[in-house]
Amino acid sequence: MQSYLKVLYDQELKTITEISIPLDNVMDMMKSIARLFLILIVVGCAQQALAQKVVSKVVLDAGHGGKDPGAIGSFSKEKDIALGITLKVRDILNREMPQLKTILTRDADFFVELKGRHEIANKANADLFISIHVNSTAGTRSRVQSGTRRVKQGRKYVTVPVYKTIVNRATSVSGTETYVLGLSRNSQKEKAIGEYSETVSDEPGLMDENDPTTAIIIAQYSQAFLGRSVTLGSKVQQNFGKLGRGNFGVKQKSLEVLAGSAMPGVLIEVGFINNAEEEAYLNSPAGQDALARAIATAIIDYKLELERKK
């Protein structure tokens, strides 16, 4: 952003110095240059404020819950696995980094609307949003003969086959992936940043809704949050890889639960519930402990990395 504005400034300055222009036009250009300088200063303040912001609160969001089971496996439900891992992440963080406050969107089997989840994070003035989910594939459909029946054709009765459709939800696909916000929901993210500007920035009055430069500052924060989300997501996936879990990487997806939060955030898919081997792993104490450790370690590393850059 700053380099782009500098190019505009240099172009206008060259125009003034090399070409004979009426005084009124020169004054207009000088005003434009002054505005550009103001934008540069404001953007610099926004970047400095963001760099100084520490990670002191993290929201842990267990996907689905209550009436919404999420994906369903052969013997378990996504909502229960997600909650089990989320509670373990909280316990690790509380034990190993007590100065980092953890906030849960749910701590038992009840339903929370998607908007309610990021509202919890925004009202808590959180610095990070982590949503934990379990993956599933769509499954395959096949048409098989289930029997026969007699039907009349003309004067005779003939036997014809009867078919039914079988849905096979089992899959051999396995692995993990982490999502950050997709570009198509940037406007929603920027709206959330604007609405919670006093909690997003530690610099009082930096984002004044009556100031035209505020839109630029909000865009800066939105891009910075995306970059930080990718950083965190990469750490999560690297830790999963160390466990020997399949790694589908960090991807962008336009998810409501990420779009409405005025902070960096990721949605983590810890495995496939319709893969028999992975479902057993996701429900085992050892599997949940390992996945929770990978996520918690990524959060701690992310926090410490930001603090070293201050």
Whole-number pLDDT of residue 225:
85
- Tally Cβ neighbours within 10 Å of residue 249: 12
At residue 30, the pLDDT reads 60
Residue 188 in contact with residue 181, Cβ under 8 Å? no
Partner residues linked to 66 by β-bridges: none
Query: What does the pLDDT look like over 52-108, one tens digit per residue?
Result: 568 999 999 999 999 999 999 999 999 999 999 999 999 999 999 999 999 999 999
Task: Please tell me the pTM assigned to this model.
Answer: 0.74
**CB contact burial 251-290 (16+ within 10 A = b; e otherwise):** ebeebebbbbbbbbbbbbbbbbbbbeebbebbbeeebbeb
**What pLDDT score was predicted for residue 255?**
87
Token readout for 47 is: 């970047």
Amino acid 208: pLDDT: 45
Domains, the chain, with CATH or none? 2-49 (no CATH), 55-136+172-309 (3.40.630.40), 139-170 (no CATH)
pLDDT tens string for the chain (310 positions)? 455 445 444 555 555 455 455 655 656 666 555 555 544 444 444 445 455 568 999 999 999 999 999 999 999 999 999 999 999 999 999 999 999 999 999 999 999 999 999 899 999 999 999 999 999 998 667 687 888 888 888 888 888 888 887 666 788 999 999 999 876 555 666 566 555 444 443 444 434 454 454 455 456 667 778 889 999 999 999 999 999 999 999 999 888 888 888 889 999 999 999 999 999 999 999 999 999 999 999 999 999 999 887 6
